[in-house]
Amino acid sequence: MIDFLKRLFGPSGSSTTAKERLRLVLMTDHLELSPELIEAMKRDLVDVISRHVEVDRDKIEVNFERQDSALAMLANIPILSVGRPNGNPTLVPIETVQSPIVANGSAPRVRKRRKRAAKKTAPTSAAPASAAAQ
């Protein structure tokens, strides 16, 4: 009964939908990443990861994808070999570094985006993954 009344009087939610769509669409609008910038990001990413594992520089793929409520940067970095001489513990190969960029509808003039702490699809013990994604 209460449920029924709630449904009857509850928010139609269309303004919530509008807000959400706006947030996402603006995030995509603001993400003006030039091919050069993406290349530079790839290079930086690889440099960091390469300190720990050997990766295949030529086969790296970086994509941006819209997920439910966030924009995600997906990087596919093939690993050639793991373990480096500098005393690091054994490493687990990383396949994908995923770093969702939080939609925050930031002011358009300040072209700065907040990033949520990196989420990784690789096993949790893969320290370099989080290092690379941050």
13 or 123: whose CB is closer to other proteins? 13
Binding mask 85-114 for other proteins (x = CB under 8 A): --------------------x-xxx-----
User: Using H for helix, E for strand and C for coil, what is the string for the chain?
Assistant: CHHHHHHHHCCCCHHHHHHHHHHHHHHHHHCCCCHHHHHHHHHHHHHHHHCCCEECHHHCEEEEEECCCEEEEEEECCEEECCCCCCCCCCCCCCEEEEEEECCCCCCCCCCCCECCCEECCCCCCHHHHHHHC
Q: Residues in contact with other proteins, total (CB under 8 A)?
A: 24
Q: Which stretch binds other proteins (CB under 8 A): 14-22, 35-43, 58-66, 113-121?
A: 14-22
Task: Decide: is 15 part of the binding site for other proteins (CB under 8 A).
Answer: yes
Q: Token pair for residue 54?
A: 């050997």
Select the residue interacting with other proteins from 16, 63, 67, 76 (CB under 8 A). Answer: 16
Task: Decide: is 69 part of the binding site for other proteins (CB under 8 A).
Answer: no
Task: Decide: is 23 part of the binding site for other proteins (CB under 8 A).
Answer: yes
Binding interface with other proteins (CB under 8 A): 2, 5-6, 8-16, 18-19, 21-23, 25-26, 29, 105, 107-109
